[in-house]
Amino acid sequence: MIDRIRRFFDEHVLAPRPDGSVDEDHAMRCAAAALILEMTHMEEDPSERGRGPGRDLAAQLVRERFELPADEAQTLLECAEAERREATDYFQFTRLINERFAPEQKIALIESLWRVAYADDRLTTMEEYLVRKVAELLYVPHAAFINAKHRVEAERPR
């Protein structure tokens, strides 16, 4: 994705254990968390990027759904925040997810992205673009992509 997050993954997530192996499940959860964090920066108003209810929900999802310790979740949040203006490449993370996530887990990730996108009660074109792009990179069928969106919309208070 971006250099600082890539370094974080290399140093903290993909670093070999003492026995030389890599905790691939942990790496996969962190990759998915990075994609969720990216959603918080899709606001059209620059003053709102990375702030507000989307940021709070993303932090909660990072900690709870991906079972990251608070310090790792915070470090990942800081990395994402510090490097927002650089170009992004999602393939590094979607590749990890494609290798390890079952189809249902990919759909759950897409649903999480929709939740963060709707956290401020509006959906921007950039937010929708990111969910669509990630769904395509994860080979999530279009019907599942749309159904996830409808489930999240149905949960929203009216």
pLDDT tens digit sequence for 108-131? 999 999 999 998 888 999 999 999
pLDDT digits (tens, 9 = 90+) for 7-33: 666 666 556 667 766 566 666 677 777
Find the domain containing 138 and state its range. Answer: 3-155
**Is the CB of residue 94 less than 8 Å from the CB of residue 8?**
no
What pTM does this model have? Answer: 0.73
pLDDT digits (tens, 9 = 90+) for 50-78: 566 777 888 888 788 777 788 877 777 66
Cα distance from N-terminal residue to C-terminal residue, the chain: 35
- Kindly report the average pLDDT of the chain as a whole number: 78
- Per-residue pLDDT, 47: 58
3-state secondary structure of 80: helix
- Which pLDDT band, with edges at 50, 70 and 90, does 87 fall under? very low
Closest CA to 31 of 98, 126, 85, 86: 98
Closest CA to 26 of 38, 15, 37, 36: 15
- For residues 91 and 110, give the distance between their C-alpha atoms in angstroms, rounded to a whole number: 15
CATH number at residue 67: 1.10.3680.10
The identity of residue 18, as a single letter, is: P
Give the total number of structural domains in the chain.
1
Closest CA to 80 of 44, 54, 112, 111: 54
**Is the CB of residue 79 less than 8 Å from the CB of residue 50?**
no
- For residues 21 and 70, give the distance between their C-alpha atoms in angstroms, rounded to a whole number: 24
Residue 84 has pLDDT above 60, yes or no: no
Closest CA to 32 of 82, 141, 105, 85: 105
